[in-house]
């Protein structure tokens, strides 16, 4: 949002508008004016408009009709802004016709980049006051139908006038950021589209119009064509004239403006006069329209505070027509626009490319890019290093955990292999062996292990000591009597001085595949009663006994349980009915 303070003054009063410009909308937040005393009325008189032979000498001037300059104006502005509580804002100042020199130039058609130098050279030749380095801006007016040349309006200001203007604003502690030409500020209404242009009767193109705007000591006339401004005139108002005389003077000047605005013979006719005012000005413009009736001019009045895109949040001041250039200056501050003419920021030819600067900027950007990429790479490497260290630590932890559980895993893996090879659980075999081995103190076991890699078969390795050969034979017979085991051994060895043990032995016990019932038969009766491996679903119930009853409680004897064939590939057999048995467990 831009905050713009638009200021304009004449010999009678000083006016201001404070507006907020957001995008394409303008909001007027404060408006005010203050009247100037006679002591500030000093300055230069209005100059005639040079327009290739057009006579502009009839400009009235009087001591009271001169635009004031000097510190007194700044004092009045300072008091006015303080009274209205106006804060900071970008100052845009409107310049009267008497402050600038206007020249209408006819130039050959050149490129946009060559036009500023061409205009400046032409102004140096034709102007009587312009010196190189003074503020100068211009506005292209289009091609001339007569010779297809480019028509340009130049506006310049002397250095003395610029210094006087700045000196006038010093007491108010304000420095202008823009110097706009008051009549051309009216062009902003059409450029912003807030005032529609009429259409020609026989075509879709827009028809030219004449714009009228008055201040205390000056009347501005702007001819606006389909392509933009065509002609600008300004004349001084006489301070001591009646209303009728003023109407006659306006009608005469309007007639003169229409006769000199277009050079072409077939120039389009102007049928509409646009004026600025309020409801109080309607009678005056109605009488003016009656004066202009012979010329076929229709007067259309607009209130600059009541247009589309403009909202006013303050009290509308009197004599609203005098504020029209200020509203136009606010419209010139809209988004992506610039004033049509600004002496502090004139049109300039494009500067040639500064290749050394471009190379320097390129190298600087390249260096910053490389430094940024290096920094990002270092940060990424640091992050990856931290991740790698965390992963290495996690790896070491997992390896330690694997080493801890590997023996148990190997045991479980071999036990599963035993189950697959023998068709029974390893724990069942181990329990069966412990039940068969004679009890101490006649025999003591010094080693009990098992392996899957003995002669490519699964075997238990049992080492021990016995008190006599009879105990060893009892051990041997207990394992091999039912042909469930095969023992490979070198035989017992004689021991001496072993505290009562006479022989030691080491055997490899190879277990044969057996059914569950074979294991069950070897259990003592008390273990059979509490065994969780009893296949209750295999029992054939006895009359009057519920299925699944344990032995000794009315169930069929164990010998009557049908045999289950257990394949070598698994620990579970298949019943005659085709139902898989439950997995046995210790």
Asked whether the beta carbons of 123 and 154 are under 8 A apart, the reply is yes
Half-sphere exposure (CA, 13 Å, Cβ side) for 106? 11
pLDDT one digit per residue (tens) for the chain, 586 residues:
889 999 999 888 899 999 999 888 899 999 999 988 743 433 332 333 333 333 333 333 333 344 566 778 889 999 999 999 998 889 999 999 888 999 999 999 888 888 999 999 999 999 988 998 899 999 998 887 677 788 899 999 999 999 999 998 988 889 999 999 999 999 888 888 888 777 766 666 678 889 999 888 889 999 988 778 888 888 887 766 777 888 888 899 898 888 877 665 566 788 889 999 999 999 999 999 999 988 888 999 999 998 888 999 999 998 999 999 999 999 998 877 888 899 999 988 777 788 898 999 999 999 999 999 999 999 999 999 999 999 999 999 999 999 998 888 887 887 777 777 666 677 778 888 888 888 878 889 999 887 765 555 678 899 999 998 999 999 999 888 888 888 999 989 998 877 788 999 999 988 887 777 777 888 888 877 776 554 444 444 444 444 443 343 333 333 333 333 333 333 333 333 333 333 333 2
DSSP annotation of 66 reads S
- State the Cα–Cα distance between residues 586 and 584, nearest whole angstrom: 7
Token code pair at residue 61: 């001037």
Asked whether the beta carbons of 155 and 343 are under 8 A apart, the reply is yes
Beta strands in 200-245 (DSSP E): 209-214, 218-225, 228-236
Identify the H or E element spanning 494: strand 493-494
User: Which pLDDT score is estimated for 68?
Assistant: 63
Residue entry with tokens 């659980």: 425
SS3 302: strand
- Beta strand 272-276 with 2-9 is unpaired
SS3 150: strand
Question: Which of 567, 212, 250 is closest to 419 using CA atoms?
Answer: 567
Which string of DSSP letters, residue by residue, matches 384-424?
A: HHHHHHHHHHHHHHHHHHHHHHHHHHHHHHHHHHHHHHHSS
User: 557 to each of 240, 393, 452, 581, how far by Cα in Å?
Assistant: 146, 61, 36, 19
Phi, psi of 233 (to 5 degrees): -135, 155
pTM, two decimals, is 0.58
- The verdict on whether omega for the bond into residue 442 sits within 30 degrees of 0, i.e. cis, is no
Asked whether the beta carbons of 154 and 176 are under 8 A apart, the reply is no
Asked whether the beta carbons of 272 and 297 are under 8 A apart, the reply is yes
The three-state (H, E, C) secondary structure of 7-49, written as one string? EEECCCEEEEEEEEEECCEEEEEEEEEEECCHHHCCCCCCCCC
Asked whether the beta carbons of 208 and 226 are under 8 A apart, the reply is yes
DSSP annotation of 442 reads S
Question: 426-436 vs 355-422: helix axis angle to the nearest 10?
Answer: 40
Phi, psi of 258 (to 5 degrees): -65, -30
User: Which pLDDT score is estimated for 263?
Assistant: 61
User: Which pLDDT score is estimated for 375?
Assistant: 95
Asked whether the beta carbons of 123 and 136 are under 8 A apart, the reply is yes
């Amino acid at each position: 949002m831009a905050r713009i303070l638009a200021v304009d003054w004449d010999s009678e009063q000083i006016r201001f508008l404070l507006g907020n410009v957001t995008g394409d909308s303008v909001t007027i937040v404060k408006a005010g004016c203050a009247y100037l005393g006679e002591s500030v009325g000093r300055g230069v008189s209005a100059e005639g408009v040079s327009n290739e032979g057009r006579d502009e000498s009839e400009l009235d001037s009087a001591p009271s009709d001169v635009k004031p300059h000097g510190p007194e104006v700044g004092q009045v502005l300072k008091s006015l802004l303080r009274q209205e509580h106006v804060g900071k804002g970008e100052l845009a100042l409107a310049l009267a016709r008497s402050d600038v020199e206007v020249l209408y130039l006819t130039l050959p058609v050149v490129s946009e980049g060559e036009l500023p130098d061409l205009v400046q050279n032409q102004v140096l030749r034709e102007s009587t006051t312009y010196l190189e380095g003074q503020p100068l801006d211009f506005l292209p007016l289009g091609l001339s139908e007569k010779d297809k040349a480019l028509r340009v309006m130049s506006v310049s200001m002397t250095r003395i006038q610029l210094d006087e203007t700045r000196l006038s604003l010093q007491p108010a502690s304000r420095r202008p950021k823009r110097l706009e030409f008051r009549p051309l500020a009216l062009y902003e209404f059409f450029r912003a589209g807030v005032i529609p242009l009429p259409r020609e009767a026989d075509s879709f193109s827009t028809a030219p119009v004449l714009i009228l705007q008055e201040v205390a000591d000056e009347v501005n006339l702007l001819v606006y064509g389909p392509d933009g401004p065509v002609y600008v005139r300004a004349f001084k108002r006489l301070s001591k004239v009646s209303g009728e005389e003023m109407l006659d003077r306006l009608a005469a000047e309007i007639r003169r403006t229409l006769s000199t605005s277009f050079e072409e013979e077939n120039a389009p006719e102007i049928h509409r006069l646009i004026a600025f005012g309020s409801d109080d000005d309607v009678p005056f413009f109605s009488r003016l329209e009656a004066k202009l009736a012979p010329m076929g001019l229709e007067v259309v009045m607009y209130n600059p505070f009541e247009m589309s895109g403009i909202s006013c949040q303050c009290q509308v001041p009197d004599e609203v027509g005098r504020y029209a250039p200020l509203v136009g200056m606010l419209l010139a501050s809209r988004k992506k626009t610039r004033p049509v003419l600004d002496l502090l920021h004139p049109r300039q030819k494009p500067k040639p490319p500064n290749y050394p600067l471009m190379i320097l900027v390129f190298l600087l950007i390249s260096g910053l890019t490389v430094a940024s990429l290096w920094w990002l790479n270092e940060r990424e490497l640091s992050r990856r290093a931290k991740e790698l260290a965390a992963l290495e630590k996690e790896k070491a932890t997992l390896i330690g955990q694997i080493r801890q559980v590997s023996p148990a895993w190997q045991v479980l893996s071999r036990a599963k292999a035993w189950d697959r090879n023998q068709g029974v659980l390893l724990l069942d075999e181990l329990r069966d062996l412990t039940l068969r081995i004679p009890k101490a103190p006649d025999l003591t076991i010094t080693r009990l292990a098992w392996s899957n890699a003995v002669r490519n078969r699964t075997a238990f390795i049992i080492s021990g000591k016995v008190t006599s050969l009879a105990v060893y034979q009892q051990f041997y017979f207990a394992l091999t009597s039912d042909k469930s085991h095969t023992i490979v051994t070198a035989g017992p060895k004689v021991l001496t001085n072993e505290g009562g043990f006479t022989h030691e032995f080491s055997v490899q016990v190879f277990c044969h595949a057996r059914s569950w019932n074979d294991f069950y038969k070897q259990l003592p009766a008390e273990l059979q009663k509490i065994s969780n491996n009893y296949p209750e679903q295999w029992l054939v119930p006895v009359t009057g006994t519920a299925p699944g009853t344990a032995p000794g409680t009315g169930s069929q004897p164990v010998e009557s349980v049908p045999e289950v064939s257990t394949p070598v590939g698994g620990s579970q057999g298949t019943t005659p009915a085709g139902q898989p048995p439950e997995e046995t467990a210790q």
